[in-house]
A and B are shown apart, each in its own frame.
Chain A
Amino acid sequence: MTFPTASPTPSRPEDPQPLGGRPVKETARPHPLTPLIRGWIVLLVIIFGVGRQLVPDGSGESPVKNLLRLGIAWLLLIIFGIVVLAAGAGFMSWYFTRFVIDDEELRIETGWLAKRSRRIAFERIQSVDIVQPLAARIFGLVELRIEAGAGDSRTVLRYLSRREGTQIRDYLLARAHGDRVTRAASSTLPQASALTDLSESEHPLVKIGPGRLIGGFVLSTEFGWTLLVWIVLFAVGAVIGQPVVGLAALIPMIFAAFGLVSRRVASQFNYTLAESSRGLRITRGLTNLTSQSLPLDRIQGVRISQPILWRRFGWSRVDIDVLGYGTASNRNENRSDVSSILLPIADAAQVRTALSRVLPGLDLDRLELHPSPRRAQVIRWFDGWTLRWGWNDSVIASRHGWIDRTTDLVPHAKVQSVRITRGPLQRWLQLASVHVDTPRGPVTLVANHLDPAAARTLALSELDRARAARRRLPPGPGDIPVLERFGLVGVTPLGAGGESTVYPRGDDQVLRIYKGDHQGDHQGDHGGATDLVQQLRSAYDAFGQYDLGFRTPLIVESGELFGRTYTIDRRIPGTSLSAWLPTAARDQRRTALFRYLQVAGRIRLLPLPAQDFGRLFGTDPRRFPTLGSLLEDQLRTAVRQTQQWLQKDLPAAAVERVIEEVRQRRCRPAVVHGDYYPGNVFVDIAADGSAVITGVGDFSPHTLAADPLMDIAGAVSLMGLEDYPEVAEDQAFVHQQAIALYGNAEPDIDYWLDVYRRYYAIYYAADPAVYPHSVAALER
Chain B
Amino acid sequence: MNPDPTMPAPGTSRPTAAAVDSLFASPGDPWRRLSPNYRSMRRLTSVIGIGVIFLAGALLVGLLAGVWWLAVVIVLVGLAILIARWIVVGRNWQSWGYLERQEDLYLTHGVLFRTMITVPYGRMQLVEVRSTPLQRWYGLATVQLVTASASTDAAIPGLLPDEAARLRDRLSELGEARASGL
Interface on A for B, CB 8 Å cutoff? 150, 297-298, 300, 323, 413-424, 427, 430, 432, 435, 437-440, 444, 451-457, 459-460, 463-464, 466-467, 470-471, 474
**How far is A432 from B147 in the complex, measured between Cα atoms in Å?**
24
Name the segment of B13-21, B37-45, B46-54 touching the other chain. B13-21
**Contact (Cβ within 8 A) B23 A466:** no
**Contact (Cβ within 8 A) B182 A323:** yes
Collect the chain A residues with CB atoms within 8 Å of residue B114's CB: 421-422, 427
**Contact (Cβ within 8 A) A457 B181:** no
**Contact (Cβ within 8 A) B120 A417:** yes
Query: Is B132 located at the chain interface by the 8 A CB criterion?
Result: no
**Contact (Cβ within 8 A) B8 A438:** no
**Contact (Cβ within 8 A) B180 A423:** no
**Contact (Cβ within 8 A) A419 B115:** yes
Name the segment of B76-84, B85-93, B148-156 touching the other chain. B148-156
The 9 A-B residue pairs whose C-beta atoms are closest, nearest first, are A416-B149, A437-B149, A452-B23, A417-B152, A470-B180, A416-B147, A417-B119, A419-B117, A437-B151
**Contact (Cβ within 8 A) A467 B103:** yes
Q: How far is the CB of A778 from chain B (nearest CB, A)?
A: 19
**Contact (Cβ within 8 A) A457 B147:** no
Q: How far is the CB of B131 from chain A (nearest CB, A)?
A: 24
Collect the chain B residues with CB atoms within 8 Å of residue A471's CB: 180
**How far is A473 from B47 in the complex, measured between Cα atoms in Å?**
55
Query: Is B104 located at the chain interface by the 8 A CB criterion?
Result: yes
Most buried by B among A437, A438, A454: A437
Chain B minimum-CB-distance residue to A455: B23
Some 9 contacts from A to B, beta carbons below 8 A apart, are A323-B148, A323-B182, A416-B147, A419-B118, A419-B151, A420-B116, A437-B149, A456-B22, A459-B116
Chain A minimum-CB-distance residue to B16: A430
Collect the chain B residues with CB atoms within 8 Å of residue A300's CB: 148, 182
- Which of B1, B23, B151 contacts A463, CB < 8 Å? B1
Query: Is B112 located at the chain interface by the 8 A CB criterion?
Result: yes
Collect the chain A residues with CB atoms within 8 Å of residue B1's CB: 460, 463-464
Chain B minimum-CB-distance residue to A321: B149
Question: Known contacts being A420-B23, A456-B22, is A451 close to B15, with CB within 8 Å?
Answer: yes
- Which of B118, B150, B181 contacts A440, CB < 8 Å? B150
Known: A415-B120, A418-B118, A453-B8; 20 extra A-B contacts, CB below 8 A, are A415-B123, A416-B123, A416-B149, A417-B119, A417-B120, A417-B152, A419-B118, A420-B117, A421-B114, A422-B113, A422-B115, A427-B114, A437-B151, A438-B149, A439-B149, A439-B150, A451-B10, A451-B15, A460-B4, A460-B118
**How far is A422 from B1 in the complex, measured between Cα atoms in Å?**
23
Collect the chain A residues with CB atoms within 8 Å of residue B24's CB: 420, 422
**Contact (Cβ within 8 A) A418 B117:** yes
Query: Is B7 located at the chain interface by the 8 A CB criterion?
Result: yes
Q: How far is the CB of B2 from chain A (nearest CB, A)?
A: 10
**Contact (Cβ within 8 A) A457 B7:** yes
**How far is A453 from B103 in the complex, measured between Cα atoms in Å?**
22
Most buried by A among B7, B10, B147: B10
**How far is A130 from B115 in the complex, measured between Cα atoms in Å?**
44
Interface on B for A, CB 8 Å cutoff? 1, 4, 7-10, 12, 14-15, 19-20, 22-24, 27, 103-104, 112-120, 122-123, 147-152, 154, 180-182
Collect the chain B residues with CB atoms within 8 Å of residue A464's CB: 1
Collect the chain A residues with CB atoms within 8 Å of residue B20's CB: 427, 430, 452
Collect the chain B residues with CB atoms within 8 Å of residue A427's CB: 20, 114
Question: Known contacts being A424-B113, A474-B181, is A417 close to B147, with CB within 8 Å?
Answer: yes
Q: How far is the CB of B12 from chain A (nearest CB, A)?
A: 7
**How far is A437 from B150 in the complex, measured between Cα atoms in Å?**
8
**Contact (Cβ within 8 A) A457 B10:** yes
**Contact (Cβ within 8 A) B120 A466:** yes
**How far is A471 from B9 in the complex, measured between Cα atoms in Å?**
28
Chain B minimum-CB-distance residue to A433: B115
Q: How far is the CB of A770 from chain B (nearest CB, A)?
A: 12
Collect the chain B residues with CB atoms within 8 Å of residue A416's CB: 119, 123, 147-149, 152
Question: Known contacts being A452-B20, A453-B10, A457-B7, is A463 close to B180, with CB within 8 Å?
Answer: no
**Contact (Cβ within 8 A) A417 B112:** no
**How far is A416 from B22 in the complex, measured between Cα atoms in Å?**
24
**How far is A297 from B181 in the complex, measured between Cα atoms in Å?**
10
Collect the chain A residues with CB atoms within 8 Å of residue B148's CB: 150, 300, 323, 416, 439
**How far is A440 from B150 in the complex, measured between Cα atoms in Å?**
7
Chain A minimum-CB-distance residue to B103: A467
**How far is A432 from B21 in the complex, measured between Cα atoms in Å?**
12
Collect the chain A residues with CB atoms within 8 Å of residue B149's CB: 416-417, 437-440
Collect the chain A residues with CB atoms within 8 Å of residue B118's CB: 417-419, 459-460, 463
**Contact (Cβ within 8 A) A456 B152:** no
**How far is A297 from B113 in the complex, measured between Cα atoms in Å?**
36
**Contact (Cβ within 8 A) B151 A435:** yes
Q: How far is the CB of A565 from chain B (nearest CB, A)?
A: 24
Q: How far is the CB of A730 from chain B (nearest CB, A)?
A: 18
Q: How far is the CB of B126 from chain A (nearest CB, A)?
A: 12
Collect the chain A residues with CB atoms within 8 Å of residue B14's CB: 430
Collect the chain B residues with CB atoms within 8 Å of residue A297's CB: 181
- Which of B7, B12, B112, B151 contacts A456, CB < 8 Å? B7
**How far is A150 from B148 in the complex, measured between Cα atoms in Å?**
10
Question: Known contacts being A416-B149, A451-B15, is A432 close to B23, with CB within 8 Å?
Answer: yes
Collect the chain B residues with CB atoms within 8 Å of residue A455's CB: 23
**How far is A459 from B1 in the complex, measured between Cα atoms in Å?**
12
**How far is A453 from B25 in the complex, measured between Cα atoms in Å?**
11
Question: Known contacts being A430-B14, A439-B149, A453-B19, is A463 close to B112, with CB within 8 Å?
Answer: no
Chain B minimum-CB-distance residue to A769: B177
Q: How far is the CB of A376 from chain B (nearest CB, A)?
A: 14
Q: How far is the CB of A707 from chain B (nearest CB, A)?
A: 33
**Contact (Cβ within 8 A) A452 B115:** no
Chain B minimum-CB-distance residue to A474: B181
